Amino acid sequence: MDLLSNLALGFSVASSLENLLFCLIGVLLGTLIGVLPGIGATATIAMLLPITFQLEPVSSLIMLAGIYYGAQYGGSTTAILINMPGESSSAVTAIDGYQMARQGRAGTALATAALGSFFAGSVATFLVAIFAPPLTAIALKFGAAEYFSLMVMGLVMSVALAHGSVLKALAMVVLGLLLGMVGTDVYTGAPRFTMGMTQFADGLNFVAVAVGVFGIAEILRNLEDEHDRQVMTRNITRLFPTREEFRQMIGPVLRGTGVGSVLGILPGGGAILASFASYTVEKKLSKHPEEFGKGALAGVAGPESANNAGAQTSFIPLLTLGIPANPVMALMIGAMIIQGIVPGPNVVSEQPALFWGIIASMWIGNLMLVVLNLPLIGLWVKLLTVPYYVLFPIIMAMCSIGVYSVNSNPYDLFAVAFFGLLGYVMSKLRCEPAPLLLGFVLGPLLEENLRRAMILSRGDPTTFVTRPISAGLLVLSLAVLVLVFLPQIRKRRDEVFTESDA
Amino acid sequence: MTASKLIGALFAATILTAPAFAQGYPERQITMVVPFSAGGPTDTVARLVAERMSDDLGQQIVIQNVGGAGGTLGAAQVAKAEADGYTVLLHHIGMATSATLYRNLPYDTLNAFDYVGLVTEVPMVVTARADFEPADFLAFIDYVKANADSLTLANAGIGAASHLCGMLLMQALEAPLVTVPYKGTGPAMTDLLGGQVDIMCDQTTNTTQQIKAGTIKAYAVTTPERLDLFPDLPTAAESGLEAMQFGIWHGIYTPKGTAPEINQRLSESLQKALADDGVAKAMADLGTAPSSAADATPEALKAKLESEIARWKPVIEAAGVYAD
């Protein structure tokens, strides 16, 4: 069978001593930079690019891929421990993961994230191997109208992220959408809300906003009183999940893997929805939705699996179309070109050793990550005992370096400071940052695709309902909306009835 | 540095009368600002030549990606930098077009820079979705003219190579197509592959692999002569579209006031890098070729920039599209 011989080829390439070493270097570096707040895979790969010129093409790509998915693992560590997500995907992990850490369950949360990621990564790797070409054909059916409807679904789901007032969550989504407007209008070139500063012509930097509203705000809040933190470390009873917790994990991990794999394939930014979508699904299916936002295990297990599955399957458009799904992938294409391999639809047939070698290395890399990360959990949890006056300056310095390294733009640092303050004010008003971040990420995509779909249909809005995939997604969004609001409406009616009874 | 080179350098230093600050250049690492994100086509070109130039200069050239605002942020940073030869800029045709596309640039394009030389000129290819009806470029011209209002033209955003080429194509054909801008080449190419849009004109760096795989259809190239890469593709000029001759040229600049000796030294180093077989091979894979030694000079780049600003000003003004 073709697949087996291909996989055999892949594993023979990936398991050479040299490639194993580079895979290990990649995942180690990835974990490290993921754990350092603010420093992302993009900056690291950009810095390492010149080194890879000296390596074999396969080795260098195996290493770069390792950095990418290693960073996904590491990123959840900071989200859980210090409420500092480095990427949109780990913003969701921060919601319940950080609450678990505050209850002294940091170890459990980290172990859950690692195991869920490993499972999802392994499954998604095989999906890539088996279905890459047919899945690509489906992904190409997604035009502007379909992406618009997908983003609508994402926004509807974002309301479910909130565990407090729905109204406040909506307000945060809208604020996020508005912040997403900052920058140059793609269609006319007009600068919007940049206050005349060309430094904001490409919009606000995501890392700056995320680090600000989550991390910096959390530091400010902690400075008010140090009481919380002692609770965090004093209550640690065990590092690994119990048998009961393992049982609770299975469903969310399986569903998260499915959701993430499907969304990761879409080159137009489906992967960023993966963890948000999984969180919504878990909250809806849970028998105890009230636990979400207060340290629900499923709120960590599902999104973490989804995000890792999405990270793996987002290699599909890169490998089969030669089109990068995100900035990290764009860098990898740059690395390939300098190595003399121009990525395109023929890479699979012309460079089978490269293609299958990378896929096999992803599985090996995931195994390495889980082996590496489980023993490290104890160490990470100990980090929580580092006193504030040492930890906070280090975090602030790291964040600043990380944010600045993305574009060498000092205005991004001003943005961190501004959003740190905004996040603090928001926490005082009991508004949550996750819906804001989702609005911020989805806003530009929503607008861009809405307007593109309208241009392509010559201004005919029925394009969203006459295209079957788009119509299906809109119906699904409507269903989610009903599911979200129905319990509230019912509750209100009950309240009305109780009052009239009295 | 070998002993003989060292002795040679010392000897040269004692007899030459060049200003003191240019002597012994370069003494430390040089920063090459690329005004686009890492991994993109311009970044790739920069890294290719920077690596070979570093070998020749004996000092490392470090790439700094300062992306944003169509490359003008990076250019502005170099315009303000110290004119000591340790900060250089590698920019493409956008250097000339942004002079018109942006009406309030923080620098005066023609008076803020000195010149090192041209690096490469990447050809453009007129392409369409794989199932586009016309069989060849002549049929394409007729078909597009006849169906102008129902066809769509993708580009990678205002000021992008595909946007410039699209403007030229529409002017040459007198066919106002429905323009669909994207944020970058990736999503635009995805939609062309999926048949969501009809036509796109883009650099060989982005299109070659897709054309070879048959996932998009190529119609013509914009070079004066046919490309070795696609000997069957006609040039737009031989098909009667004289105005459609252009490429995405890349040049290296220094801040205004840099010592001529330094620019000359960098230019020599650039010429050596461009003569390197590895660089030529890597560029050939991308569908382009290194600039000739005569073009990799300060004079050639200065002339190119001046003529290109003059050429694109009326095109952009006629289209009435500005980036600010």
Q: What's the pLDDT tens digit per position in A465-484? A: 999 989 998 998 888 778 76
Q: Residue A454's closest chain B neighbor by CA?
A: B180
- Chain B residues touching residue A53 (CB < 8 angstroms): 47, 51
pLDDT at B134: 94
Total count of domains within chain A: 1
Residue B17 has pLDDT above 80, yes or no: no
Nearest to B162 by CA among B131, B203, B195: B203
Give the closest of B38, B66, B209 to A322, CB-based: B209
Q: Distance (Å) from the C-alpha of residue B317 to the closest C-alpha of chain A?
A: 14
Give the closest of B65, B72, B322 to A46, CB-based: B65
* Mean pLDDT lowest among A228-237, A452-461, A475-484, B29-38: A228-237
Q: What is the ipTM of this complex?
A: 0.78
| Residue A340 contacts residue B282 (beta carbons within 8 Å) | yes
Contact B48 A338 (CB under 8 A): yes
Q: Please give the average per-residue pLDDT across A278-293, as a whole number.
A: 84
- Chain B residues touching residue A46 (CB < 8 angstroms): 38-39, 65
Q: Please give the average per-residue pLDDT across A176-192, as a whole number.
A: 85
What are B80-135's pLDDT values in tens digits? Answer: 999 999 999 999 999 999 999 888 888 999 999 999 999 999 999 999 999 999 99
Residue B255 has pLDDT above 80, yes or no: yes
Contact A49 B208 (CB under 8 A): no
> Chain A window 174-213: which residues touch B at a Cβ cutoff of 8 Å?
184, 186-191, 198-199, 201-202
Q: Which domain holds residue A87?
A: 2-501
Q: Please give the average per-residue pLDDT across B274-291, as a whole number.
A: 87
- Chain A residues touching residue B106 (CB < 8 angstroms): 198
What the block records as the tokens of B191 is: 């939609």
> Chain B window 219-278: which residues touch A at a Cβ cutoff of 8 Å?
none
What are A367-401's pLDDT values in tens digits? Answer: 998 888 888 888 877 777 777 788 888 888 888 88
Interface test with B, best of A193, A337, A412 (most B CBs within 10 A): A337
What are A8-67's pLDDT values in tens digits? Answer: 888 888 889 999 999 999 999 888 887 777 677 777 787 777 777 778 888 988 998 888
What is the rounded CA–CA span in Å between residue B297 and residue B305?
13
- Eight-state DSSP code of residue B317: H
Does A287 contact chain B (CB < 8 Å)? Answer: no
Residue B14 has pLDDT above 50, yes or no: no
Residue ranges of domains in chain B, CATH in brackets:
30-121+248-319 (3.40.190.150), 123-244 (3.40.190.10)
Interface test with A, best of B44, B97, B105 (most A CBs within 10 A): B44
Contact B213 A345 (CB under 8 A): yes
What are residue B153's DSSP bridge partners?
B179, B199
Angle (deg, nearest 10), helices A243-264 and A271-285:
140
The band of A235, judged by pLDDT with boundaries at 50, 70 and 90, is low
Mean pLDDT, rounded, of chain A:
82
Contact A140 B190 (CB under 8 A): yes
What is the rounded CA–CA span in Å between residue A8 and residue A288?
45
- Beta strand B113-129 with B199-203: parallel, antiparallel or unpaired? antiparallel
CA distance readout (Å), A288 to A278, A285, A293, A484, A490: 16, 9, 11, 15, 18
pLDDT at B16: 43
Q: Please give the average per-residue pLDDT across A248-264, as a whole number.
A: 89
What the block records as the tokens of B207 is: 């299109």
pLDDT at B86: 93
Q: Distance (Å) from the C-alpha of residue A369 to the closest C-alpha of chain B?
A: 26
Mean pLDDT, rounded, of chain B:
87
What is the rounded CA–CA span in Å between residue B72 and residue A189?
14
Contact A334 B39 (CB under 8 A): yes
What the block records as the tokens of A476 is: 């699904």
Residue A141 has pLDDT above 90, yes or no: no
